[in-house]
Amino acid sequence: MVAPTSTPPAPATSATGRMAAVQDMARLMRLLFEIEREFVRTATTLICRVGEPELKYLLCQHVWESAGHARFLRERGRELSGFGAGESVRPELSRIFTEAAMPADGYVALAGFYRVLKPALLGAYRHYLSATHHLADWPSRKLVEEFVADEERHARELEPYLDTVDATEGIRHLRLALAAHGGLLGDHPRTPLSSGFVWESALRPYVHPATCNRGKYPTCSSAFSLDPDETPIVRPWLVDPKTDARVIRLMVYVWLMMELDAVDYLATLFIDTPAAPFDLHHDLARHLWDESRHSQFGYRQLPKLGVDLMTLEHPLDLYHLLVRMPPHERYAMMTMEFEAGSFPTKALVMDRVRELNDFEADTLLAFDRNDEQNHVRYGHRWLPEIMALGGERRPVAEFVAATRAKFAELAGTHGGLTPHALPPDRRLTGRKLLRLAGVG
């Protein structure tokens, strides 16, 4: 549940008096803001639990678009009398979204979000359009019309992934919970829950899986090593001026694709920071979508350069290690260590790839670098607040240094435990990248 930050909104009852029409729409808008905010907080739990990269990418995009919806609703709502000054979410609404995240099978949870909650949200937006005045509320209406189109597209995009498991019972359970609330807007008759109904979120907290799901793809501990016969990214080759630029390009596309590990562990931060201000979650959602786009750079470019993606093992070490750390330590490692520490190497890589006169590669790498500069800025902005949420009182620099040391200790104990899923003759290695680049 998101903790209150200031004055809560007035109850969603029909207003009377001179400003009644504005207040009714403001209260409805407030509910829509809370719903979108809760989707961002809880649907992110799906990302590390589903296996298909394309599905992870879509979920990241949907979360980012929902964060944008919520931000507009908040900003527009603050212009209207009756929206409320705070950002708190009604506990009963928060409970429904937390319940949606609880199924052990990520695909059952996915069906709950996209067969129950997202259709209810679409219905709520349509209700808003039917209830508001087309001209008086034009600033809201035009954006809400776009949100309806987004929700309709979300449904189409996720439909191919919703029948991979039997989610009948999970969907029924969530529909009962929603009906007991009177729907997302609370505007339908409430259906009392039977004595046999059990709120799973009351029995146990949500816990992230110990390992992220990579579906059909082979896995390993790391894509980086010093051995060209073990991994596709050979650390010394990245910075060696003698390495052919075509090999550098292949290695950096592997590196980009494997930012999928950042997608998986960054997605865990939302539900673990329920008291965070909305703007923090908004920027995390942007960060998540950026990492998803970077992974897609490699995912879509590597096959064009002759790489069979089923020979490319997905590294799991970073997720394994970071999920053992509290959210403020996870975020510190990502922004202050991994991203800030990557700039010198990536600058060399960008210079080398420019030798190929590959406009698309240059463009993708430039946007990757620009995005990561923004992410480090996010880190400087939000790390102190996430630290405070976790009860961490040390100065930021001292905390980051201690977190770096803790990560190294965890790596020594829990790192390197995922064996290569493929034998050397079948998996992509640095040596094979030489041949694909035509230099070995």
pLDDT of 5 above 60 = no
pLDDT on residue 18: 60
Alpha carbon distance 382, 277 (integer Å)? 10
Q: Are strands 224-225 and 314-315 parallel, antiparallel or unpaired?
A: unpaired
Tens of pLDDT, residues 263-275: 999 999 999 999 9
3-state secondary structure of 230: coil
Contact between 342 and 423 under an 8 Å Cβ cutoff? The reply is no
Alpha carbon distance 5, 283 (integer Å)? 18
pLDDT on residue 29: 96
Tens of pLDDT, residues 298-323: 999 999 999 999 999 999 999 999 99
For 68, the enclosing helix (H) or strand (E) is helix 53-77
Alpha carbon distance 331, 336 (integer Å)? 8
Question: How many Cα atoms are found within 13 Å in the side-chain-facing hemisphere of 348?
Answer: 15
Measured CA distances, 366 to 93, 297, 370 (Å): 41, 12, 6
Burial class (CB in 10 A: 0-12, 13-18, 19+), 22: middle
pLDDT on residue 4: 46
Residue 296, both tokens = 């897609």
Taking phi first (over 0 means left), then psi (-120 to 50 degrees means alpha), and beta for anything else, what does residue 391 get? left
pLDDT on residue 19: 73
Alpha carbon distance 66, 197 (integer Å)? 30
Tens of pLDDT, residues 38-52: 999 999 999 999 999
Calculate the average pLDDT of the chain. Answer: 95
| Number of residues in the chain | 440
Measured CA distances, 69 to 38, 272, 281, 286 (Å): 12, 22, 13, 13
Compute the C-alpha angle 11/12/16, nearest 5°.
95
pLDDT of 6 above 60 = no
Interacting residues of 215 by C-beta distance below 8 A, sequence separation 6+: 50, 51, 52, 53
**pLDDT confidence tier of residue 202, bands split at 50, 70 and 90:** very high
| Runs of H (alpha helix) within 113-206 | 118-131, 138-158, 168-181, 200-203
Contact between 60 and 47 under an 8 Å Cβ cutoff? The reply is yes
Alpha carbon distance 100, 42 (integer Å)? 8
Of 213, 211, 321, 288, the closest CA to residue 41 belongs to 288
Contact between 217 and 258 under an 8 Å Cβ cutoff? The reply is no
Tens of pLDDT, residues 212-261: 999 999 999 999 999 999 999 999 999 999 999 999 999 999 999 999 99
pLDDT of 9 above 80 = no
Tens of pLDDT, residues 67-120: 999 999 999 999 999 999 899 999 999 999 999 999 999 999 999 999 999 999
pLDDT on residue 15: 53
Tens of pLDDT, residues 321-377: 999 999 999 999 999 999 999 999 999 999 999 999 999 999 999 999 999 999 999
pLDDT of 12 above 80 = no
Stretch 384-400: mean pLDDT? 97
pLDDT of 11 above 50 = no
**pLDDT confidence tier of residue 277, bands split at 50, 70 and 90:** very high
pLDDT on residue 249: 98
pLDDT on residue 20: 74
The percent of residues in the chain predicted with pLDDT above 70, rounded, is 96
Q: Write the DSSP assignment of 262-313 as a string of letters.
A: HHHHHGGGTTT-TTS-HHHHHHHHHHHHHHHHHHHHHHHHGGGGT--GGGSP
Alpha carbon distance 218, 312 (integer Å)? 7
Stretch 111-132: mean pLDDT? 97
pLDDT on residue 435: 96
For helices 359-389 and 340-353, angle between their N-to-C axes, nearest 10 degrees: 180
pLDDT of 13 above 50 = no
CA–chain centroid gap for 111, Å, is: 17
Evaluated on CA atoms 58, 59, 62, 67, the torsion sign reads: negative
Torsion of Cα atoms, 105 then 109 then 111 then 117, to 10°: 170
| Runs of H (alpha helix) within 204-244 | 235-239
